[in-house]
Amino acid sequence: MVDAAGPTERRRNDRRKRARGTRVDESWFGAFIGDTDSLHHADGPRDEAEVVSEAPLLAQALSTDRSDASAFHRIYRAFLSARAALGVALVATLVVAGLFGARPSTAVAWIGFSYAAVAIGLWLWPSTGVADEHADSPHLGRLTWLACIGVDIVCFAALHVLAPFNGLNFAALLVLPVLTAGVLTPRLQALATAAGVALLLLGNAWLGVLAGGEAATLMTQAGLAGSGLFVITVLAGELASRLAREELVARDSMELARQQVQLNRLVIEEMQDGVLVVDRTGRARAANPAARRLLVRRGLGRPAPFQLRGVAAWEQLVKTVERGFHEAVWPEAGRDVALQFDQGVTRTLRVRIRFTRGADEPSAEELCVLLLEDVRSMQARTRQEKLAAMGRVSAGIAHEIRNPLAAIAQANGLLAEDATTPSQQQLTRMVADNVQRLTRIVDDVMEVAPGAVTEAGIIDVTAEVGAICSDWARAAGLELGDSSQFKVELPDEPLGATFDVEHLRRVLINLLDNARRHATATPGSVRVRLIALDEATVQLSISSDGATIPDDVERYLFEPFFSTRSRGTGLGLYICRQLCEQYGASIDYRLRPATEANRNDFVVNMRRRSGLTAEAVLPFPL
């Protein structure tokens, strides 16, 4: 909670500091300058298209902030438009007044047409204003002030002075430059502008008094008008300041939304479960890589958005989405949905549905979130947890069995020395055989029990595989030659990999024993092949031509205590996998194409490493 509230509190404090530290000569929009939380940072604007594509719900909010630069520039453009419209209206007024007999003087007409031309020109080419000299400034530059406010004051004051001679009143036009100054200039400059216009009104009223007008009336009217201009200046500044603060808060909120979108994307992309966002039409709005892998038979599916309807394999999933929208509720544990791919391949998914809005909440666009998980992965994870618990119990039991076994073996040895009859000798041999078998089981269980991690080194896999295969062939009594049952293919150069020599020996001999046990006696029925798969992987393959492994057996190959032999412990392949994982390697079974003789293939992928010493590669002596 402290971490979550920290950034928000800091931003609030920053805003308070900016509010307290605002100088008197700053404009009402000064809060936007130097704001590190705004949409436009010093290193350039952020990419909004990416955020909109990732979070469609932010599109409407982001679309309100697609102006040229900032709120100050938008207000500046609005005043330029107002000046242009006022210039056109002024010209039209003069023309209409002339048609009705109140023909203005040449000076008034010239001022009106000139002002309209200047206002329209500056509106058409706004880059000649703020962007010329103070593109990032929170207030108007000197030349920009003269081109906008200065021209307005001069023209409208001249029209106001000449108004008595033409029967027209132009005093109301002076509100525009005062209002513009109140919003777009520093406070003192805005108040000074209002004061200058008020003095012009009082000066014009004094001229009227000198011309014979009533002093009280003229001066009172000028004073009230000047006071009104001061009120307009203050109110405009306060409204502009309020707008600046609200936009600053909105930008802070938008920045938080951007960060939250990026965080959500990172979390969802790395999730092991599939996440799919679907609307009522069956269109997938978003899909993480895990979901894209689960929706296709192999590889990675196409990125979102895409349509679920029309794909035969996804028919049951579409019906599930429709059912979820119809019922508006879904079991917490989810339901199983089967995807039927080509060639009779089926994948069962556990689907959990969560809705973005409740059933009683109105929504113009309803979305649901599908959480997908492969049922086989769930079952494997459950089995793994059970096996881990069972392994810890088995290790403890095996440790306790060692001492009684040693006592039984020692006692049986003493009895064998005194055994004289054939029946007694047979009984002692049976005891010795079973003690040896139990000892081997205990050793296997203790091998996979949690213990000290062996430090991995870099070995020459080519030389070690050649030596292990040579020793195994001699121990198995295989006849060597072209007609031999055992064939080995090794590369000419040394291949370095991360592994332990003794553990590699145990893995390879276990796989060779299994291959020979199920292979025929034909030449090359057991093959070992070592290759550099790529720059990062060394692949060891052990294949045989025996009967292919059934599907109901293949899924349990690497699980402990599973064996198809009556006297097997079921720990051989499990130990091989544990040893491989200890060094970052992997072991797997694959069925080769029917065109090949040796279809049963166990593959070990090891991490390739450099840094071998310059030693001769031990050749395979077969």
Q: What is the pLDDT of residue 168?
A: 64
| Region 424-449 average pLDDT | 78
- On the question of pLDDT at 607 being above 70, the answer is yes
Percentage above 70 pLDDT, the chain: 77
- The lowest-confidence range among 140-144, 361-365, 381-385, 411-415 is 361-365
CA distances from 337 to 75, 279, 350, 414, 609 (A): 56, 18, 6, 65, 44
DSSP 192-250: HHHHHHHHHHHHHHHHHHHTT--HHHHHHHHHHHHHHHHHHHHHHHHHHHHHHHHHHHH
**Residue pointed to by tokens 């200890």:** 582
| Residues paired with 528 in a beta bridge | 488, 542
In the chain the first and final C-alpha atoms are separated, in Å, by 69
Q: How far apart are CA 508 and CA 465, in angstroms?
A: 8
Count of other CB atoms within 10 angstroms of residue 286? 20
Q: What is the pLDDT of residue 569?
A: 60
Q: How far apart are CA 457 and CA 75, in angstroms?
A: 69
Q: What is the pLDDT of residue 577?
A: 84
**Residue pointed to by tokens 């060692």:** 402
CA distances from 510 to 54, 506, 516, 602 (A): 51, 6, 10, 11
**Taking a C-beta distance cutoff of 8 angstroms, is the pair 464, 577 a contact?**
no
Residue 353 pLDDT grade (very low, low, confident, very high; cuts 50, 70, 90): confident
| Region 583-595 average pLDDT | 84
- The lowest-confidence range among 387-401, 459-473, 525-539 is 387-401
| Region 473-480 average pLDDT | 80
267 residue type, one letter: V
Nearest to 557 by CA among 543, 577, 580: 577
The sign one gets for the Cα dihedral 471, 474, 479, 481 is positive
| Region 343-353 average pLDDT | 84
| Residues paired with 587 in a beta bridge | 604
295 residue type, one letter: L
Report which of residues 460 and 621 the model is more confident about: 460
Q: What is the pLDDT of residue 48?
A: 39
Residue 540 pLDDT grade (very low, low, confident, very high; cuts 50, 70, 90): very high
Q: How far from chain centre, in Å, is Cα 228? A: 56
DSSP 85-139: HHHHHHHHHHHHHHHTT-PPPHHHHHHHHHHHHHHHHHHH-GGGSHHHH-TT-SS
**Taking a C-beta distance cutoff of 8 angstroms, is the pair 542, 605 a contact?**
no
- On the question of pLDDT at 197 being above 50, the answer is yes
Q: pLDDT tens across 9-61, in order?
A: 544 454 444 444 434 344 443 433 333 333 333 334 344 344 334 333 333 33
Q: Residue 53 contacts by C-beta under 8 Å, 6 or more apart in sequence? A: none
pTM of the model: 0.42
Q: How far apart are CA 308 and CA 291, in angstroms?
A: 13
Q: pLDDT tens across 388-410, in order?
A: 676 677 667 777 787 888 888 88
- The lowest-confidence range among 158-162, 175-179, 233-237, 478-482 is 478-482
| Region 441-470 average pLDDT | 74
Q: How far from chain centre, in Å, is Cα 335? A: 27
| Region 205-230 average pLDDT | 84
Q: What is the pLDDT of residue 126?
A: 63
DSSP classification of residue 72: H
Q: What is the pLDDT of residue 91?
A: 87
Q: How far apart are CA 608 and CA 584, in angstroms?
A: 10
Q: How far apart are CA 117 and CA 142, in angstroms?
A: 21
**Residue pointed to by tokens 């404009």:** 27
Q: What is the pLDDT of residue 323?
A: 87
The sign one gets for the Cα dihedral 475, 477, 480, 486 is negative
Residue 579 pLDDT grade (very low, low, confident, very high; cuts 50, 70, 90): confident
Q: What is the pLDDT of residue 444?
A: 65
| Region 179-199 average pLDDT | 86
| Region 180-202 average pLDDT | 86
**Taking a C-beta distance cutoff of 8 angstroms, is the pair 31, 248 a contact?**
yes
Report which of residues 238 and 357 the model is more confident about: 238
Q: How far apart are CA 400 and CA 230, in angstroms?
A: 97
- On the question of pLDDT at 555 being above 80, the answer is no
Q: Which two tokens stand for residue 327?
A: 């019922």
Q: Which residues of 384-411 are buried (b: 16+ CB within 10 A; e: fewer)?
A: eeebeeebeebbeebeeeeeebeebeee
The sign one gets for the Cα dihedral 291, 293, 297, 303 is positive
Q: pLDDT tens across 495-514, in order?
A: 889 888 888 888 898 899 88
| Region 106-133 average pLDDT | 75
Q: How far apart are CA 124 and CA 127, in angstroms?
A: 9
Tally of residues, the chain: 622
| Region 294-318 average pLDDT | 87
Q: What is the pLDDT of residue 530?
A: 92
Tell me the pLDDT of the chain averaged across its residues. 76
Report which of residues 386 and 204 the model is more confident about: 204
- The lowest-confidence range among 229-243, 534-548, 569-583 is 569-583
DSSP classification of residue 363: -
The sign one gets for the Cα dihedral 217, 222, 228, 230 is negative
Nearest to 542 by CA among 570, 518, 561, 562: 518
Q: Which residues of 225-242 are buried (b: 16+ CB within 10 A; e: fewer)?
A: bbeebbebbeebbeebbe
CA distances from 325 to 77, 322, 354, 358 (A): 47, 5, 10, 11
Q: What is the pLDDT of residue 618?
A: 45
Q: Which residues of 301-333 are buried (b: 16+ CB within 10 A; e: fewer)?
A: beebeeebeeeebbbebbebbeebbeeeebeee
Q: How far apart are CA 314 and CA 276, in angstroms?
A: 13
Q: What is the pLDDT of residue 541?
A: 92
| Region 82-106 average pLDDT | 83
Hey, which of 30-39, 99-108, 378-387 has the most confident mean pLDDT? Answer: 99-108
524 residue type, one letter: G
Q: What is the pLDDT of residue 58?
A: 37
Residue 170 pLDDT grade (very low, low, confident, very high; cuts 50, 70, 90): confident
